[in-house]
Chains A and B, each alone.
Chain A
Amino acid sequence: MATKAQSSIAVPAVNPKSRSRVSLLTVVSLALVALWLIIAAFPFFWTFWGSFKVQSDFFSKTDWQNAIYGVNTIQQTGSAFTLDGYRGAWVEEEFWRNVINSGIVVFFTVVISLTFGTLGGYALARSGRRYAFWLLMAALVFRAMPHITLVSGYLLPFFEWNIWGILPTTIIVLVAINQPFTLWMLHSFFLNIPKDMDESAMVDGCTRFQAFRHVIIPVMWPGVITTGLFSFLLAYNDFAVTAMLLSSENETIIPAINSFLGTTQVEGKVMYAVAAVVSATAPLFVLILFFQRQIVSGLTAGAVKG
């Protein structure tokens, strides 16, 4: 009571002072946002711009402005922009093979993950039993495990059975590693679809699977697309699994960039790796451009449930 009275009395006196503090706080927070946006965007912009230069410009000891104006690039190639890095990466180092491999791996991983995940996530959301809870807990622990710990368990058996190094093995491993996350996410999406919908269908004589097929599948696409985006990211961004489980001719983009680094450290070839890095980031850029809303909602979907 006393504090309330105090504060209501204090309001007029404090107001001008607090207003000036408010504006200071606002200025500081806006400055922080501006600083963050620069820090977030600058590295990408810099590398993108620099990928069209020669190495002595991008890694310029004499003057960092060389990377902007391309002084050495003009000297060496006659123009301020050169596609040498890209030509080297895509043609000489046959980066397109890795792109095709990545395409295959990512496509099948996403499709299979979503098929398994929708069925499982639906079952978990509709079953309130104790074992469903334990499955979710186990999935949470599996989700937290560093992927490389699992890889050390795969190598020996895969060598023994002679299935090491090929794309199907990697796809099924990525699907499995993806499952815990997919299950959690789709589970919380299905919880948001009212139970009454499929249950009334079952009252009308549908089996559980028919109810799922005719009632749930038509309304589940927003959740499935969001989950699919994250499955895509996991498969596309993976390094630990693809680097250890694929032979060099089956390598996907990310391990290929890493092996580029080993072989192209010599003068003039680092730009191949820079070009490859920019090429590998481009699809992600497009993805964010088109699916920003879904990605943001997916990031927070797990949080809704707490």
Chain B
Amino acid sequence: MKHRTFFWFILPTLSAMILFIALPIVSVFIQSLFVEHEQVLVVSESCGPFGCSPTTTVDVAATEKLRQEQPLGQFNGLGTYINRSHLAFAEVGEAWRTTETFRAFWKQVSNLPFYRALIFTLTYTAVVTPVVIALGLAIAVGVNNLPRMLKGPSIFISLLPFLVTPLVGSLILFWMVDSDGVIGATIQRVFNDPSLSLKASTTLTWTMLIVYGIWHTLPFSFITFYAGLQTVPEDTMEAAMIDGASKWQRMIHVIVPHLSPLMAFVTLMLLMDNFRVFEPIVSFKAEAHATSLSWIIYNDLRESGNPLYGSAGATSMMTIIGVVILLTPVLIRTWRDFSRKAH
């Protein structure tokens, strides 16, 4: 295809992506270098019968004017990146010096907002992804063994949790595990402890969020693997059977290797989607026990009246760097494939 024709075909989509994805990243970066203006203070001498004393007042008009003139705020360099709510170098160093054991150090670090969010995001991603892949494969094999009549309906049912709006899906589960909801109340009765609430403990909140994550993404891996199972070559399966391979052996030695390119694809998709976990934390109102990177950005922006653009920008930049690190292996592999094909 000629360069010129290519250009005209690609122009609409390219300009949309440059204007609303690439430029916003630049804008996020610039924002992250600035902090909000401090209030303009006026010191005036007020003299009374007992002498003069200086009083400090906030000059509202001047503050407003400054905000109007420089909406970005004042330049702060990389200051926002290393302050207490982000990388917190000073606090981490302090914790390293003052704590004796690694456990105590870890405890202090994991209370810092950015690290708290990072730890949850990574744990969530690292737990949900492998569990979803393993269970997805098991269910795909199970459905494949079902009579033909039942296959369609079981795929239909499975699609529901995947396609439902994340915010809505997590609300539905949240209402069920609520202390008055059907699961929450049953658990209280089983353990005979009316104060037991899934919302009150950090461990239970994390478990609940991870269970939601599995429930929501399992259909994706299941359906992809199910589609892959339809392409397993009959000959190889028969050969394995003749050689006396049991069902389990055929699974491990024939089916799993056949599906391994699919597994790479599913892993990539799951990593990308799990890394941005956000809506369930809003729905479950879990922020007291678990926050994610996306959630702290949302929280900074929602700060009523005075959104913390600088802080949100810094977290966003670090999240984007995280995504790129996550994708690097895939990008390198695809690049190798492409160059091999080109030459």
Chain A residues within 8 Å of B, Cβ to Cβ: 4, 7-8, 10-11, 14, 18, 21-22, 25-26, 29-30, 32-33, 36-37, 39-41, 43-44, 46-47, 58-61, 64, 67, 115-117, 119-120, 122-124, 126-130, 132-133, 135, 137-157, 159-160, 172-173, 175-177, 179-180, 182-183, 208-209, 233, 236-237, 239-240, 244, 254, 257-258, 261, 273-274, 277, 280-281, 284-285, 287-289, 292, 295-296, 299-300, 302-303, 306
Contact = CB atoms under 8 A, between A and B. Distances in A.
Contact of B227 (A8, A29, A59, A296): A296
A179 B16 CA distance: 8
Nearest to A47: B172
Contacts of A117: 13
Contacts of A177: 20-21
A43 B2 CA distance: 54
Interface string B64-77: 00000001100000
Nearest to A157: B27
B152 interface: yes
B223 A43 contact: no
Given A144-B272, A148-B316, A150-B24, 8 more contacts: A40-B161, A44-B160, A127-B6, A141-B327, A153-B24, A172-B16, A300-B227, A306-B264
Nearest to B180: A59
A300 to B, nearest CB: 4
A150 B218 CA distance: 27
B124 to A, nearest CB: 13
A8 B243 contact: yes
B243 A289 contact: no
B20 A172 contact: yes
B290 interface: no
Nearest to B12: A116
B151 to A, nearest CB: 10
B21 A156 contact: no
A288 B175 contact: no
A151 B342 CA distance: 38
Q: Is the interface of A mostly helix, strand, loop or mixed?
A: helix
Contact of B163 (A119, A295, A302): A295
Interface string B174-193: 01101111100110000000
A257 B171 contact: yes
Contacts of A14: 244, 246
Nearest 9 pairs of A and B residues by beta carbon: A153-B24, A176-B20, A123-B9, A120-B13, A146-B276, A59-B180, A29-B142, A149-B316, A33-B142
Q: Is the interface of B mostly helix, strand, loop or mixed?
A: helix
A240 B146 contact: no
A120 B9 CA distance: 6
Contact of B21 (A142, A208, A302): A142
Interface stretch (B37-45, B92-100, B201-209, B292-300): B292-300
Contact of B71 (A145, A160, A261, A289): A160
9 contacts: A26-B145, A29-B145, A123-B9, A135-B14, A137-B331, A155-B301, A157-B27, A183-B13, A273-B171
Contacts of B50: none
Given A120-B10, A240-B278, A281 B227 contact: no
Contacts of B138: 29, 32
Nearest to A131: B6
B155 to A, nearest CB: 7
A203 B5 CA distance: 16
B16 A33 contact: no
Contacts of A141: 323-324, 327, 331
Contact of A239 (B279, B293, B335): B279
A11 B245 CA distance: 9
Nearest to B330: A140
Interface stretch (B53-61, B82-90, B108-116, B307-315): B307-315
A299 B279 contact: no
Given A141-B327, A152-B313, A44 B172 contact: yes
Contact of A150 (B20, B168, B246): B20
B122 interface: no
A37 B158 contact: yes
A79 B135 CA distance: 43
A152 B312 contact: yes
A116 B123 CA distance: 37
A237 B165 CA distance: 5
A54 B61 CA distance: 51
A21 B262 contact: no
Contacts of B142: 29-30, 32-33
A32 B272 CA distance: 27
Given A32-B139, A124-B10, A146-B275, A40 B301 contact: no
Given A33-B143, A144-B272, A152-B313, A257 B17 contact: no
Interface in B134-161: 135, 138-139, 141-143, 145-146, 152, 154-161
Given A26-B145, A29-B138, A40 B215 contact: yes
A115 B275 CA distance: 30
A236 to B, nearest CB: 7
A236 B165 contact: yes
B71 A36 contact: no
